[in-house]
């Protein structure tokens, strides 16, 4: 548990001397905004630059104070319950675009810059930074949580287009990998290590990205099927066809409801059973293409009669945004949902999704699923039934039931579940990668384990 030795007053005044009073929040009311999965921090720091972050981390490491890095705060619900929050380290003030060279298709960003601001700036130059995350999220947060969405099918994930990263280790060393050029093998690939490390190895301070030309136009076709098996037979056909969609999103019958309008309803006005029995059960795959008139015409003709609907070009952006924020939309409508990130070898998708439905119903949940059909990467929502809702231990039971049905190469990470349920199982689950080695990496950069204490897969 929390090994902190300081009291709130100690911690705050120590950092006030180090960073200046305006960079430290100690007022309990303002601290509320930074609560981590229900825990209010002792102190929040708003450093002005990477040097201040390094100085703050050195002190925290010496004092063995636990530190939680904080960007936009949109994914602080992920992970095990953190063991004490002495210091929240916010990247709020590191919010600049350091360099943007449209001619070179590269950009350098501070960690606290919001994804929406940066993508808007790129769009202004008809360029695309294909990071998908929740509204308010930051570049650093997107990197730390390996945030991705439907565009990953066409442009790859962050690991494929982040070309450089700077961070501060738990004990205050500045680390850097890569650089500002699109091809670079000088030194270890620290981008890969930091992406998806959930703030357990260091605090990301800036990063560089390769950009893509914005598609001049896109076409979204929705294909509809009567069974899960048919939907994935279509996916297999798509992979063998000469087509190269930028997104190919599976939408399960229970998920369609959450993608309909833009206004999430209040969970207390919501009756999930009514919806499920009223809807005709259809399985959908939404496919999005980019390119010239001829490219889109060819894509349309290859898909042929499988298409039941073409999304109106004016609605495309909203349509795909709703898919990218599915986890949030689902969570805002229900009390106590459990949401998985499911990563499976592509051909195991059908089995894995069947397993999800079976495991959900065994424990009084309904599974609502969307995801990247061609990649084998899914967001699986387990919605508690309103009548006879699952007990706290049944969350653990449902997660184990699903994991038990998956092969060794699969991961089923619980991104979201009630805090009380987290004590009964491991939200991270198993991984094909050697965890003893992960442990050594963690020790190398965070020897005392002060960063996100107890929260990540290895601690």
- Residue 433 near other proteins by CB under 8 A: yes
Which one-letter DSSP state was computed for residue 265?
P
Positions 275 through 304 that interact with other proteins (CB under 8 A): 291-292, 294-295, 298
Of 33 and 440, CB closest to other proteins = 440
Place of tokens 């007990």: 391
26, 72, 84, 376: which one contacts other proteins (CB under 8 A)?
A: 376
DSSP H helical segments within 226-278, as ranges? 228-240, 272-278
Name the CA dihedral angle for 80, 84, 86, 88, rounded to a multiple of 10 degrees: 20
- Residue 49 near other proteins by CB under 8 A: no
* CA atoms of 95 and 107, how far apart (whole Å): 14
Smallest gap, in angstroms, from Cβ of residue 443 to other proteins? Answer: 7
411, 451, 453, 455: which one contacts other proteins (CB under 8 A)?
A: 411
* CA atoms of 255 and 247, how far apart (whole Å): 17
Contact mark string toward other proteins, 62..101, x via CB under 8 A: ---------------------------------------x
* CA atoms of 303 and 286, how far apart (whole Å): 11
- Residue 308 near other proteins by CB under 8 A: no
8, 64, 174, 400: which one contacts other proteins (CB under 8 A)?
A: 174
Of 423 and 435, CB closest to other proteins = 435
Residues forming a β-bridge with 414 = 340
DSSP H helical segments within 114-205, as ranges? 115-124, 139-144, 152-155, 158-161, 190-194
Of 258 and 340, CB closest to other proteins = 340
55, 182, 386, 459: which one contacts other proteins (CB under 8 A)?
A: 182
Of 176-184, 279-287, 319-327, 363-371, the segment contacting other proteins by CB under 8 A is: 176-184
* CA atoms of 106 and 104, how far apart (whole Å): 6
* CA atoms of 154 and 33, how far apart (whole Å): 36
Count of alpha carbons within 13 angstroms of residue 10, beta-carbon side:
9
Count of alpha carbons within 13 angstroms of residue 429, beta-carbon side:
26
Phi, psi (5° rounding) for residue 53? -65, -45
Of 124 and 408, CB closest to other proteins = 408
* CA atoms of 250 and 320, how far apart (whole Å): 12
- Residue 189 near other proteins by CB under 8 A: yes
87, 344, 370, 402: which one contacts other proteins (CB under 8 A)?
A: 344
Of 21 and 239, CB closest to other proteins = 239
* CA atoms of 349 and 354, how far apart (whole Å): 9
Of 33 and 126, CB closest to other proteins = 126
Positions 243 through 272 that interact with other proteins (CB under 8 A): 243-244
Smallest gap, in angstroms, from Cβ of residue 175 to other proteins? Answer: 4
- Residue 233 near other proteins by CB under 8 A: no
Of 235 and 334, CB closest to other proteins = 235
Positions 210 through 229 that interact with other proteins (CB under 8 A): 212-214
- Residue 110 near other proteins by CB under 8 A: no
351, 431, 454, 459: which one contacts other proteins (CB under 8 A)?
A: 431
Of 274 and 297, CB closest to other proteins = 297
Among 414, 408, 445, 407, CA closest to 428: 414
Among 393, 203, 213, CA closest to 290: 213
9, 38, 187, 389: which one contacts other proteins (CB under 8 A)?
A: 187
- Within 8 A by CB and 6+ apart from 347, the residues are 376
């Amino acid at each position: 548990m929390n090994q902190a030795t300081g009291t709130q007053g100690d911690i705050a005044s120590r950092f006030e001397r180090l960073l200046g009073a305006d960079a430290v929040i100690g007022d309990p009311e303002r601290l509320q905004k930074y609560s981590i999965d229900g825990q209010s921090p002792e102190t929040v720091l708003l450093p002005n630059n990477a040097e201040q972050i390094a100085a703050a981390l050195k002190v925290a490491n010496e004092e063995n104070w636990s530190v939680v890095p904080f960007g936009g705060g949109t994914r602080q619900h992920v992970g095990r319950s953190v063991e004490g929050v002495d210091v929240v380290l916010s990247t709020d003030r590191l919010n600049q675009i350091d360099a943007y060279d449209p001619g070179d298709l590269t950009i350098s960003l501070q960690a606290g810059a919001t994804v929406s601001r940066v993508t808007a700036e790129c769009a202004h130059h008809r360029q695309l930074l294909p990071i998908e995350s929740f509204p308010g999220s930051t570049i650093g947060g997107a990197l730390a949580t390996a945030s991705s969405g439907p565009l990953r099918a066409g442009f790859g994930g962050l690991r494929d287009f982040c070309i450089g990263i700077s961070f501060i280790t738990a004990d205050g060393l500045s680390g850097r990998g890569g650089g500002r050029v699109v091809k670079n093998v000088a030194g270890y690939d620290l981008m890969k290590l930091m992406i998806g490390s959930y703030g357990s190895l260091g605090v990301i301070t800036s990063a560089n990205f390769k950009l893509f030309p914005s598609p001049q136009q896109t076409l979204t076709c929705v294909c509809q099927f009567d069974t899960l098996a048919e939907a994935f037979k279509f996916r297999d056909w798509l992979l063998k066809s000469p087509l190269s969609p930028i997104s190919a999103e599976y939408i399960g019958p229970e998920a369609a409801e959450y993608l309909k309008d833009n206004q999430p309803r209040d969970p207390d006005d919501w009756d999930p059973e009514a919806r499920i029995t009223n809807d005709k059960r259809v399985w959908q795959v939404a496919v999005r293409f980019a390119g010239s008139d001829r490219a889109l015409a060819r894509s349309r003709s290859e898909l042929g009669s499988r298409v039941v609907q073409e999304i109106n070009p004016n609605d495309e952006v909203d349509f795909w945004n709703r898919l990218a924020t599915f986890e949030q939309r689902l969570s805002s409508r229900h009390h106590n949902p459990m949401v998985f990130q499911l990563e499976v070898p592509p051909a195991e998708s059908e089995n894995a999704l069947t397993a999800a439905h079976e495991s959900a119903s065994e424990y009084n949940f309904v599974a609502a699923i969307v995801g990247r059909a061609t990649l084998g990467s899914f967001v699986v929502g387990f919605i508690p039934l309103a009548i006879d809702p699952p007990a706290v231990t049944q969350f653990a039971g449902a997660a184990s039931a699903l994991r038990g049905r998956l092969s060794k190469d699969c991961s089923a990470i619980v991104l979201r579940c009630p805090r009380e349920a987290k004590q009964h199982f491991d939200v991270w689950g198993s991984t094909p990668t050697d965890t003893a080695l992960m442990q050594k990496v963690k020790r190398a950069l965070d020897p005392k384990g002060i960063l996100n204490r107890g929260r990540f897969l290895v601690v």
